[in-house]
Structure 1
Amino acid sequence: MRHSLNAFLLAVTLFSTLLPPVGHHQLQESDPEVEAILEQMGPEERVGQLFLVTFYGSDVGPDSDIATLITQYQVGGVVLRAENDNFVDEEDLLTQVSQLTTELQTLAAERRQLPATEVPGPPVVPGPYIPLFIGIEHEGSNWPHTHLLSGVTPLPSNMAIGATWDPTLSSAVGEVVGEELSALGINLLLGPSADVVLTPQPLAPGNLGSRVFGGEPFWVSQMTAAYVSGVHSGSDGRIAVIPRHFPGYGGADRMADDEVPTVRRSLDQLIQFDLKPFFAVTGDAADPMAVADGVMTGHIRYLGFQGDNPRLATRPISLDPQALQVLLALDPIRAWHEDGGLVVSDALGLRGVRRFYDPQEVIFPNRRIAQNALLAGNDVLYLGNFGSNPPVNQVATVIDTIEFFVQAYNEDPAFQERVDEAVRRIIRKKLDLYDGQFDLNHVLPPEESVEALEPRPDVTFNVAREALTLLSPDHADQLDSPQEGERIVIFTDTRFVSQCSTCSLQPLIEVDALQRAILRLYGPEASGLVSPANIQSFTFEQLDNFLEFGPQTGVAAEGATPEPDPLAVALDSADWVVLLSLDVDSEIPSSAAVKRFLADPPVGPDTRVVVMAMGAPYYLDSTEISKLTAYYALYGYTEPFVDVAARALFLGVPFSGASPVSVSGINYDILEATSPDPDQIIGLSVSYAQEEEDTDATQTPSEVLLGAGDTLLLETSVILDRNGHPVPDGTPVEFVLNYINEGLRDTLPVTTVGGVAQASLLLDRPGELEITVVAGPARNSDTIRLFGGGIEVVRPELPSTPTPTPTQLPALQTTPGQQPTPEVFNSTPTPEARHASVDFGDLFLTLLGLAVIGAVSFSVGLVTRDVNYGLLLALPSVMFGLVAYNYYALLLPGAIRWRTWFGEAWGASTAAWFGALGGWGMTVLLLLLWRHWLHRFLRGYQPR
């Protein structure tokens, strides 16, 4: 028995080794081009392709750290970061970036053979040249997530793009990004952010600010897909786009830079909200250009992920093989992943990851972290900040990790298989970037591409103009603007950043940026509305110091009068105070100057106060907003946004945008805002489909009438949300069917696609039918009326407008074909007059007949018994007859069929007569039963 069991277990084990690792997806087909390259690669080269590394400084010479990692350890990619001082040339930044990427790719092309002492066994034969991934974050208006401060187009933030509600603008921005980065030799974009922020957390460390496209999953999906498509188009397919942070970081209350966040989300909730943008750029992408090359997994944990235990949290998704494989097995993701989609880890050296493995941060288990990330399902491992003290020991830590992987590759077949699977995806993706040509001259962009680059501020200006949002007051007609002679004081959140640690500081917004824009547009050289003497500018830091310490007088000579504080003087005489604010940051005290200013405004009651939110719009509460003359959201701080802010102050530009995220201070909820507008009238159109049949080719439209068995195709107009944009796909809609003759009501539930709802209706009931449509709170729609084979469309009457004339629809005509052919029509012949169900003639015949039946019944009762018995027979007969008449007149169920049997002329009277006869018969039967029961009761009663 023991030998049989051992044999069985051995057979199972041998069979299991033939299967792929559980949860990991293989490429659908063997790729000869990839396999040919893989055959030429040794273990070191295969392992090296897994890693994206960072480095410090801009030196990429032969003896530099990054040269060692590329040439001796075959790393597959590099990520450039401003914080690591990779960019140091402020005057000609683009040329320096181009030279840097060229030198990095040249190093990869000149990899030399590893020393024999480094690897056990015979010397390694140099493998084929495989280009590096050279990656960067480039989000626009979001320092430090945008690493190029000059030379390139001043991009809008993702939230500004989302506020336009126009995917074509998102695509246009993506094109600019793709064109500029590819010209610089960058081929990997770590972005955009595809996170959905349903409920913003302004004061939480995990607040993503204006980095996100919005809080409504459908619109975030649209913007993300358009952006990805634009990058591919602008770069001619030479940039791999990696949206982040899969499966969604929108609910996180902190960033993994400090601690791995934990979010209470079930898998179903992730599918319903957070994952939709990732579906839109993977298996559900409507356009091949919108398919992302990879997704970046986020360091985030989920409570109740599987739903069976709400108290059980996953490990960080990027390091959890069970949870990540569940996500990768979802239909849209699975198909994309099997087709070669990459899974890229977020930086594995972030403090949150280190603290997850060792809360005391005593050790940094680099081998374990990297191995867990690979086995969880990541194909590319991003070793950013990788080490216990990255500036000192990052290179040594990366080398130790690579050598550990090489050893595991040589010793563990399962590990080897997992590495080869990931490397196949990486090679395939790099081949796609360069049309299958791994030639250095083909990989490097043309030398003249950098000189040909010109910033495109017009694209950003278009976004800024369309994104401009009036948050308060509710309507633009309640606004006022500065008039000639009025004094304007401007406060600007001028935060200073630098391209490198030794580079000069530069403000995100210059202190007088808005002032210069106002004078350019409305100053003496323009309309002359504003005089330079009537406008002053200060920083938020100056305002914060003023609010904290009060006016500061200047130092004066003995006996002289001290000069007054210019800020205090400006505020005392100000007619308008304008505050340009960025996102509130707890590490920058002056960023909260607006809130401090509004807590106790140091201005007179007649001074108008305006806030321009150049970042996210949700930092002020309702009380603070109530103190403002106007509250605008611009979502970006680059020069085009400042230009639009100047125009907005003087009401020189329409307020076209709407916030893509919830703003609690104005009671603005993004899901409510994107629900159907209750004030709209939903249009209805109808088309007719008929199966193929023998029809006369000369048949006129009027010869085709609707009948039982025909199918109507119903379609709404574009249903708009409360912001005036098409409602998201999947919005529930009901076509309401009212069968007038039968008094029945039915519904056809559907959902929208492209803002439009469609449904087919089989006509299987005779009689009159009215069709309307309801979409959530939007309950006003056209009415389609079907009667006697004709159709009429009626628009509802509005109180403020005269009753519109019903649209006349022509009769329906079908065209023979193999499939039902819908034919949309807009008008019909004049419908037949609708007759009442009864008229005076029906009433006269009914009463005459009931009088006869009543008289006969009374006579029978009087002859057989007495007057009381006659009344007992006559009155119920007449009552039942009248009930039957009313039932028929109301066209209750069965009335139409009765009219079909007896005709329109006799239907009502015969219904009443038969009702009377039925009442007479029922009365006689009840009286007989009464007499029978009474007789038995009296016989059984025995008096004492």
Structure 2
Amino acid sequence: MTRLWRSFRCLMVLFYLLATPGVMFAHARETSKAEALLQTMSAEEKVSQIFLVTFEGNQVDEDSKIFQLLSKYQIGGVVLRADKNNFSEEETTASLRELTRSLQEIVWEASSQVVNIEDTGHTQGFTYVPLLIGVQQLGNGYPGDQILFGVEQLPSHLAIGASWDLSLANQVGEILGNQLSSLGINLYLGPNLDVIETVNNEAASSLGVNAFGGNPFWVGEMGKAFVSGLHTGSNNRMLVVAQNFPGTGNSDRSPDREVSTVRKSLGQLTQVELVPYFSVTTPSFGSPGCVDAMMISHNRYQGFQGNIRASTRPISFDSNAIQQVFSLPEFASWREAGGLLISENLGSGAIRRFFDPNDVNFDARQVARNAFLAGNDVLYINNLISTGDPDPYTTLISTIDSFVQKYREDSAFARRVDVSVLRILEAKSKIYPNFAFPRMSNEVVEAHSAAQETTFDVAQAAVTLLSPSAQELDTLLPDPPLWYERMMIFTDVRTISCCDGCPSTTAIGTHALANALVNLYGPQAGGQILQNRINSYSFTQLTEFLDNLETDMAELIESNLKSADWLIFNTLNVSENIPSSAALRRILAERPELLSEKKVIVFALDSPIYLDATEISKVTAYYGLFSKAPAFLDVAARVLMQEYAPSGALPISLNAVGYDLSIVTAPNPNQVIRLELVMPVEAEQAPATSVEAEEDVGEPGVEGDIIFDITPTPAPTPLPSFKVGDLITIRTSPILDHNQNIVPDGTRVRFDFRISGEPDITQQFESTTQGGVAFFNYRIESAGGMDVIASSGLATRSETLQINISPEGVMSFFAFTPTPLVSPTPEPTPTATITPTLQPTPTSTPEPLPASYPSLGDWAFGVLVMGIGSALTFMIGLLWWGSSRWGLRSALCALIGGLGAYTYLNLGISGVKDWIQQSGTLYVIEIVVAGLLIGWIAALIWWMGTEGRYPKRNRR
């Protein structure tokens, strides 16, 4: 009997394995490839896979240090940086593709060479493993981007967050993934998933616009959509690394200078800082929205490390803290499935200051070993140099050698290395199946229209009116700038370069906004403004004026300030290292009289946190654009001319304008929460955790593929059968916040049940939202009727769901909204707002104006000027020449000249048309005056040839 039972069990196991080959054997094959490859690698090759390094320059010939690292040590990955001069010229795409191809070829050729193995007499070649080539490209140009030329400048994280649109986040990620992958980049250092809770600390200032916002739920959803786009755009040929884990948005100082501290309990960390990282790790590992790795920050966290002291190590060096973090259920499965841990840069100033505060003896080898033993699989090294070493290259070689020696001497260390290297190989096999040599297309990446359109869509959705309110602004600015009004534009112009010796350029040009205005509204595009009435200056020139420097430009600025009607400031971040960046704050404080009686407009092209409440009170309108890409200046011009009303909303709290994100993302009290009884079949298909935030919840009543009725009048419904003890499921419609977005996951919703016949007895139950919707399961206690209402925070108005169960078990129900005694102010239906899509400014030259130009208004001005000129010349002839006859002749000659000049304008000569298009009506008047003058000069010559030559002839 025992033998039969054993045989039966063996058959069952065999049957199970054969029935599930796609699940078990596929994974086994994938793992076995990495394990088989690991077995063929030497100690030197294994250790080298752990290191992710930077290098100087863009030359990879045999004399370069990076060639030695790749050919002799088989380094696992490199990171390209602008400050390392890895990008050589403005034609970055071609040179970058050549650089990444050369780096991969060095590794490939080294693996095919045969080398002698010391002390054995045998020969062996390197095991080929594709090289990881990483870059940080966070958007918004310098300093968030490393690649500054040749690729489309995409929006910043904060601009994407201000759009509150997950589809736009996904589109930006997809475009970026496509661009980088086609350049040979296979490791993306981003996105940042920091939650900016406060904006008055050094850490928030250092993050600037490189974070999605201040609400944990939305930061996570934006990050997940962005990561999904990166994977899709790169055709799953890119590893994505979430940076700054487990969050630096609430640290007390910039992590670049010193190891900072986050004093929050574990509960607080799991409710705020860790929520975005949960979002990008809880999808099944390998799914598009799941990150492949996380970069551990050099911060200290009270919630994981207890009381913080000066001696407390950063979490990146604390094995107990890292183990505790990744024992959390949300991270445990991700880590077990193969998630990589990458250390933050071990050569940062903060780490050097922590381990060697007196700058006496910094041991880089020990620092790297400690970081690895703490739990990091990959060590990111940039500018790591030990005391006494001549350069970072020497330190890196000695560090690798020390790891190899430790590997051979310490079996526990060797096992630790093998575990991390296996993770690295499995990650590489995801993007290069069978560890094949990376192939790139010969097609050079160009800026394409899809990137421009997506960037413009983000700019249009993100632009936000920060101050004052829209109603107050209508009173302050009833009209946009008129053609005769003068505008002065001041822009924070900063010079950047992609490498030492490369030609310099500017992040934003001095005339960038003026050009956008002229292209959209100048003489060639409707003639709403005149180019000669716009003056543009840099913040540096404004600073020189405020410093009372005696220059011609300073005098011109003061003159133009006095005559200007509009003052427009394009601001970036305020930095102590850039004195001119404070120009706006200085003029507001030092020369307020120059702003009196003028319309002062501020466009924040970076984070809007740098002005305080008093400074904002001195400006007419304060807008947030959050990015300086050309499309954002295009949108700024449209907003200034009141073609487009800002529709974005701040993704961070800003006390200076009284904007509290926690209040804004709370349930809107002016909504009616709809209630729906979920049918038994639907309840099986849509459990309480099945509603995803990505679903279109803009239309109440539509949730995924399930359609439910929210009509406030009784409607026929199916009559399901229930019995006492059964569970019924009730759900709400999507609950919206003050910005008409769904509320964050975890928002509390209260369900009140009132039993019919017992009006004084109310049962209260709580649930939480997921994807903006709350579900609640209620067990039927007896036949009869009940009324159900719901509330969430200050949103206390809801439908009443009436449910009746007959003794036979048949249920009937309907929902209705009670009519309030006082009719509330009608609220807009919480559906997605459809706004006209504005097209970006065309880059081609605008079409010339029609041949009928000058316009009717110009003709009227011309006739008026000709009449005045003729009258004046008649008076000259009458008084100066002493004859009414010559007065009439003078007037007629002048009139003929004016008419001739105006006729000349209408002949359609190209040069004349260009002048008219540039200067408009003013040029027409000038030409008519010139014609009048020519006619009067002709009359003068006539008079001098007759009466003036012989003044006494008529007196005889």
Q: TM-score, normalised by structure 2?
A: 0.75
1:293 aligns with 2:292: yes
**Is 1:213 matched with 2:212?**
yes
In structure 2, runs of 5+ residues without a counterpart are 1-26, 684-715, 807-811, 827-956
Give yes or no for the alignment of 1:462 onto 2:462.
no
Sort the Cα spacing of 1:286 and 1:46 in 2 relative to 1 into closer, same or farther, 3 A: closer
- Of residues 719, 728, 734, the one that matches 2:744 is 728
Q: 2:504 maps to which residue? A: 505
User: How far, CA to CA, are the matches of 2:361 and 2:118 in structure 1?
Assistant: 27
Which residue pairs with 2:654 in the alignment?
A: 663
C-alpha contact 2:338 2:423 (8 A) present in aligned 1: yes
% same residue: 41
1:776 and 2:793 are equivalent in the alignment = yes
Structure 2: how far apart are the matches of 1:762 and 1:745? 15
CA separation of 1:312/1:596 partners in 2, compared to 1, >3 Å: closer, same or farther?
Answer: closer
C-alpha offsets along residues 679-702 of structure 1, whole Å, 9 cap, x if unaligned?
A: 21212222454999xxxxxxx979
Q: Counterparts of 1:162-561 in structure 2 under 5 Å?
A: 162-201=161-200, 207-284=206-283, 288-305=287-304, 309=307, 314-388=312-386, 393-438=391-436, 440=437, 443-450=438-445, 456-475=451-470, 478-479=473-474, 480=477, 481-549=480-548, 552-554=550-552
Query: Which residue identity lines up with residue 55 of structure 1 in the other structure?
Result: F
- Separation of aligned partners in 2, 1:782 and 1:390: 75
- What letter is aligned with 2:252? D
Which residue pairs with 1:751 in the alignment?
768
The 1:605–1:275 alpha-carbon spacing in structure 2 relative to 1, beyond 3 Å, is same
What does residue 878 of structure 1 align with?
Answer: none
How far off its partner does 1:597 sit?
2.1
1:114, 1:638 → 2: CA distance?
47
Q: CA deviation at 1:331?
A: 1.5
Q: Which moved more, 1:142-151 or 1:39-48?
A: 142-151
1:568 aligns with 2:558: yes
Identify the residue that residue 59 of structure 2 maps to in structure 1: 59
Q: Which amino acid aligns with 1:401?
A: T
Partner SS, residue 739 of structure 2: coil
Q: Answer whether contact 1:345 1:382 (CA < 8 A) is retained.
A: yes
Give secondary structure in 2 for the equivalent of 1:163. helix
Distance 1:452 1:546 in 2: 39
**SS at structure 2 position matched to 1:192:** strand
- C-alpha deviation, 1:142, in angstroms: 4.9
Q: How many Å separate the matches in 2 of 1:130 and 1:517?
A: 49
Q: Residues 894-909 of structure 1 correspond to what in structure 2 (within 5 A)?
A: none
CA-CA distance at 1:407 after TM superposition = 0.1
Contact 2:203 2:254 (C-alpha < 8 Å) held by counterparts: no
Three-state SS of the structure 1 residue aligned to 2:369 is helix
Letter in 1 for 2:192: S
Query: Does structure 1 residue 589 correspond to structure 2 residue 589?
Result: no
Secondary structure of 1:289's partner?
Answer: coil
3-state DSSP class of the match of 1:585? coil
Alpha-carbon distance, 1:144 to partner = 2.2
Cα distance change, pair 542–750 in 1 and its aligned pair in 2 (3 A): same
Residue 777 of structure 2 is aligned to residue 760 of structure 1? yes
1:604-642 Cα offsets, whole Å, 9 max, x none, are 532011110101122211222122211110000010111
User: Structure 2 residue aligned with 1:617, among 586, 589, 608?
Assistant: 608
Q: What amino acid is the match of 2:491?
A: T
Kept in 2: contact 1:113–1:125 (CA 8 A): no
The one of 771, 791, 800 equivalent to 2:813 is 791
**Secondary structure class of the residue paired with 2:644:** coil
In structure 1, C-alpha distance between the alignment counterparts of 2:682 and 2:254, rounded to whole Å: 60
Q: Kindly state the Cα deviation for residue 139 of structure 1 after the two structures are TM-superposed.
A: 0.6
How many pairs does the alignment contain? Answer: 757
- What is the match of residue 936 of structure 2? none
Residue of structure 2 equivalent to 1:145: 144
CA separation of 1:687/1:336 partners in 2, compared to 1, >3 Å: closer, same or farther? closer
Which whole-Å CA distance do the structure 1 matches of 2:531 and 2:766 have between them?
Answer: 62
**Could you tell which deviates more after superposition, 174-183 or 104-113?**
104-113
Q: Which amino acid aligns with 2:280?
A: V
- Alpha-carbon RMSD: 2.8
Distance in 1 (alpha carbons) for counterparts of 2:440 and 2:473: 53
Alignment partner, residue 638 of structure 2? 647
- Matching residue of 2:77: 77
1:886 paired residue number: none
- 1:300-344 deviation line (CA, Å, top 9, x unaligned): 11235355x476984111111111111122112121111111111
Give CA-to-partner distance per residue, 1:462-489, whole Å, 9 cap, x none: 1111111111112257332222311111
- Structure 1 pair 482/725, CA: closer, same or farther in 2 (3 Å)? same
Separation in 1, partners of 2:717, 2:536: 73
**Distance 1:761-1:511 versus aligned 2 partners, 3 A rule:** same
CA shift in 2, pair 1:117/1:252, >3 Å: farther
Describe the superposition over 1:818-858 as per-residue Cα deviations: whole angstroms up to 9, x where unpaired.
xxxxxxxxxxxxxxxxxxxxxxxxxxxxxxxxxxxxxxxxx
Tell me the amino acid that sits aligned with residue 761 of structure 1. Y
The residue that corresponds to 2:629 in the other structure is 638
- Equivalent residues of 2:198, 2:204 under 8 A apart: no
| C-alpha distance in 2 between matches for 1:541 and 1:192 | 33
The SS at the match of 1:387 is coil
SS in 2 for 1:456: helix
Change (3 A) 1:318 1:749: same
Separation in structure 2 between the aligned mates of residue 188 and residue 147 of structure 1, nearest angstrom: 14
Q: Give CA deviations for 1:403-453 in whole Å, capped at 9, x if unaligned.
A: 000000000001000111111011111111112242x3xx03122254797
Question: Residue 257 of structure 1 contacts residue 350 of structure 1 at CA under 8 Å; is this kept in 2?
Answer: yes
AA aligned opposite 2:370: N
CA contact (8 A) 1:98 1:450 kept: no
> Aligned partners of 2:529, 2:745: CA distance in 1, in Å?
47
Does structure 1 residue 41 correspond to structure 2 residue 58?
Answer: no
**Is the 1:578–1:610 contact (alpha carbons within 8 Å) kept by the matching residues of 2?**
yes
Alignment partners' CA distance in 1, 2:502 and 2:125? 40
Whether the aligned pair in 1 keeps the contact of 2:141 and 2:148 (CA below 8 Å) is no
Contact 2:513 2:634 in 1 (8 A): yes
Partner of 1:601: 592
Alpha-carbon separation, structure 2, partners of 1:205 and 1:758: 37
1:270 CA displacement:
1.7
Q: Distance in 2 between matches of 1:436 and 1:113?
A: 17
Listed one character per residue, the Cα deviations across residues 696-718 of structure 1 (whole Å, up to 9, x for unaligned) are: xxxx9797788855644222111
* Structure 2 match to 1:898: none
Letter of the structure 1 residue corresponding to residue 418 of structure 2: D
- Indicate conservation of the 8 Å contact 2:71/2:110, yes or no: yes
Find the residue that maps to 1:721 and give its secondary structure.
coil
78-87 vs 31-40, greater mean Cα deviation: 31-40
Query: What is the CA–CA distance in structure 1 between the aligned matches of 2:152 and 2:667, rounded to whole Å?
Result: 37
Name the CA shift for 1:446/1:791 in 2 (closer, same or farther; >3 Å): closer
Whichever residue aligns with residue 465 of structure 1, its letter is Q
Pairwise CA distance, 1:293: 1.0
1:106 partner amino acid: E
If you compute each CA radius of gyration, which structure gives the higher value, 1 or 2? Answer: 1
Gaps of 5+ in 1: 1-26, 555-562, 693-699, 805-944
Contact 1:72 1:114 in 2 (8 A): no
CA separation in 1, counterparts of 2:355 and 2:615?
43
Q: Is the CA contact (8 Å cut-off) linking 1:303 and 1:312 kept in structure 2?
A: no
Which amino acid is the alignment partner of residue 48 of structure 2? G
Q: Is the 8 A contact 2:304 2:324 kept in 1?
A: no
Residue type matched to 1:525 in 2? Answer: Q
